Amino acid sequence: SFSTKMMMIRQCYQPSSSSSLSLSLTTHTTMLSLTATTLKSSIFSPFTHGLSSHSITRPVNPKPFTINDSLIPASSRQAPAKQQLYQPFRPPPSPIPPKFRSLDAAGKIEVLADRMGLWFEYAPLISSLYTEGFTPPTIEEFTGLSGVEQNRLIVGAQVRDSLVQSGAKPELIAAFDTGGAELLYEIRLLSTIQRVAAAEYIVDKEFDAKGAQDLARAIKDYPHRRGDVGFGDFDYNLPGDCLSFMLYRKSREHKSTSELRTTLLEQALEVAVTEKAKKAVTRELHGESNEERAKEEEIKIIRVPVVRLRFGEVAGASSVVVLPVCKAEEGEEKLNEAPMEFEAGGEFGVVEAEKEWSRWVVLPGWDPVVAVRKGGVAVSFRDDRKVLPWNGKEEAIMVVTDREKKTVEAEDGYYLVVTESGMKLERGSVLKERGVGESLGMVVLVVRPPRDDDDDWQINDEDWD
């Protein structure tokens, strides 16, 4: 065997008992003295099996010889001790309480079956059993905890640990000692700072699991509502205002005479925190003037398509349109300098323009864009809030304009004009009231940039459940 061979090799290379090696080191400043005697070992004996041998003569009593350390190569000298950089791996502390760490699988199942201790103490035992090969159905069979309950306990314990690590008040943590798994589970998708604020609000308002879920959804949903009516009247850092804004927004989906609308507004007013939020809800609750409402409804009737470009949409389009691009801050003069005529031709669809231009954009072959045969241009804006007459979303946009249609004719259309604050879109009826008959061009399309969370930014019920 391999081990037997290794033993034989070691015995073979072991020096005989008669062999000796004496080493004496005498240090005089930088001098070393080394004395060696003859080594005798059977393995180093000369071969005499039919082969000619040559005698090797060595002095019987060799004299000591000295070696100057300056002759020793630098690589052979002993290097100074270096600081140990390697640090041994230290596993993170076990989430299992000390009193449960010595339990085997049977003991852990017994603790879970009898619900021994507080929920956040035995919750880590479930994950421990998972690592030992147990499945949720098996644990449910032995302990009576369904898979949903197991997940709720595990996640709830993790959320509680994050509250503890964030330095939350002990009395806040203690408020979830009994039945806190269901409440903490609902705020799992929030950040640590948001969790602390939400937990304090849940305890203060004595919310149940449904109330905690609505609160978490309101906080998570609020940033995506930028640009909605009343968005700036509520404080995102306050859970109460987030919840109030959600109720306020839902109320606007119902008719003014609806009883449900009134109920939602009353609830929004009850949970609102800041005075600005309370005023916004009160104004909506008691109604606004007919003139303001009519103006708002008029703005909602938008005759301009507003689309959001999707990632990969240009690559997957069957046809595309190439347009010159101008920056809004460059002004009217730069807009007029953009090429008026450009077309794609040849077997490869090479675009040729009447003049050189440095910036171009490729858009899918949408009907409004394709209809612009001549004079089309895309004007880029950094912030849509100062450009659009309706609610903006605080993001960049690109406005496709037909410079062949500069005359203001359609009252329900939108035109690109220059004001004291720069370029912006204005409704045709508004321009006619001001006596404005010419514009930079008629707006045919407003394009928003791609966004990762645009397709499904709202958290659906399945994800929450």
Task: Please answer whether residues 96 and 128 qualify as being in contact, where contact means their C-beta atoms are separated by less than 8 angstroms.
Answer: yes
What pLDDT was estimated at residue 385?
77
Angstrom distances, CA of residue 231 to CA of 222, 245, 287, 452: 8, 8, 18, 22
Reply yes or no on whether the pLDDT at 32 is more than 60. Answer: no
Ordered by start, the domain boundaries in the chain are: 98-219, 226-287, 306-448
- Residue 383 neighbours by CB under 8 Å, 6+ apart: 392, 394, 395, 396
Reply yes or no on whether the pLDDT at 49 is more than 50. Answer: no
What whole-number distance in Å separates Cα of residue 170 and Cα of residue 261? 40
Domain 306-448: top CATH class: mainly beta
Task: Please answer whether residues 243 and 214 qualify as being in contact, where contact means their C-beta atoms are separated by less than 8 angstroms.
Answer: yes
Written as six digits, the tokens of 298 are: 């008029």
Percent with pLDDT over 70 in the chain: 72
Q: How confident is the model at residue 90 (pLDDT cuts 50, 70, 90)?
A: low
What pLDDT was estimated at residue 429?
87
Q: How confident is the model at residue 116 (pLDDT cuts 50, 70, 90)?
A: confident
Please tell me which residue, 53 or 140, carries the higher pLDDT value: 140
What pLDDT was estimated at residue 388?
79
Reply yes or no on whether the pLDDT at 119 is more than 90. Answer: yes
What whole-number distance in Å separates Cα of residue 36 and Cα of residue 34? 7
Nearest 5°: the CA angle 37, 43, 45 is 65
Q: How confident is the model at residue 352 (pLDDT cuts 50, 70, 90)?
A: confident
Q: What integer is the mean pLDDT of 1-16?
A: 46
- Select, from the ranges 15-29, 67-81, 403-417, the one with the highest average predicted confidence (pLDDT): 403-417
Reply yes or no on whether the pLDDT at 37 is more than 70. Answer: no
What pLDDT was estimated at residue 295?
54
What pLDDT was estimated at residue 272?
94
What pLDDT was estimated at residue 392?
65
What pLDDT was estimated at residue 453?
55
Question: What residue has token string 């109320």?
Answer: 251
Please tell me which residue, 11 or 393, carries the higher pLDDT value: 393
What whole-number distance in Å separates Cα of residue 42 and Cα of residue 288? 112
Reply yes or no on whether the pLDDT at 23 is more than 50. Answer: no
Give the 3-state DSSP-derived string for 93-145, with helices as H, strands as E and coil as C: CCCCCHHHCCCCHHHHHHHHHHCCCCHHHHHHHHHHHHHCCCCHHHHHHHHCC
Written as six digits, the tokens of 260 are: 């449900």
What pLDDT was estimated at residue 70?
52
The DSSP output letter for 427 is E
Q: What is the CATH number of domain 98-219?
A: 1.10.10.2830
Q: What's the pLDDT tens digit per position in 182-232? A: 999 999 999 999 999 999 999 999 999 999 999 999 999 998 887 778 888
Q: How confident is the model at residue 403 (pLDDT cuts 50, 70, 90)?
A: very high
- DSSP secondary structure string for all residues of 131-187: HTT--HHHHHHHH---HHHHHHHHHHHHHHHHHHHTT--HHHHHTTTTTHHHHHHHT
Written as six digits, the tokens of 319 are: 């046809």
Please tell me which residue, 289 or 355, carries the higher pLDDT value: 355
Q: What is the mean pLDDT of the chain?
A: 79
Reply yes or no on whether the pLDDT at 341 is more than 50. Answer: yes
A 10 A CB-CB count for 22 gives 8
**What b-and-e string marks burial along 329-355, b requiring 16 or more CB atoms within 10 Å of the CB?**
eeeeeebeebbbebeeeeeeeeeeeee
Q: For the packed helices 147-165 and 119-131, what is the interaxial angle rounded to 10 degrees?
A: 120
Q: Which of 163, 194, 197 is nearest to 180 (CA)?
A: 163
Q: What integer is the mean pLDDT of 329-355?
A: 86
What pLDDT was estimated at residue 30?
40
What pLDDT was estimated at residue 172?
95
Task: Please answer whether residues 251 and 283 qualify as being in contact, where contact means their C-beta atoms are separated by less than 8 angstroms.
Answer: no
What whole-number distance in Å separates Cα of residue 159 and Cα of residue 192? 9
Q: How confident is the model at residue 22 (pLDDT cuts 50, 70, 90)?
A: very low
Q: Of 35-44, 54-63, 292-301, 392-401, where does mean pLDDT reach its minimum?
A: 35-44
What pLDDT was estimated at residue 26?
40
User: CA 205 from chain center: how many Å?
Assistant: 31
Domains 98-219 and 306-448 share a fold: no
Question: What residue has token string 């998972």?
Answer: 130
The model's pTM is: 0.49
What whole-number distance in Å separates Cα of residue 376 and Cα of residue 403? 6
Please tell me which residue, 353 or 67, carries the higher pLDDT value: 353
Q: What's the pLDDT tens digit per position in 378-398? A: 999 988 877 877 666 778 899
What pLDDT was estimated at residue 34?
43
What whole-number distance in Å separates Cα of residue 358 and Cα of residue 328? 15
Q: Of 71-80, 134-143, 309-318, where does mean pLDDT reach its minimum?
A: 71-80
Please tell me which residue, 243 or 369, carries the higher pLDDT value: 243
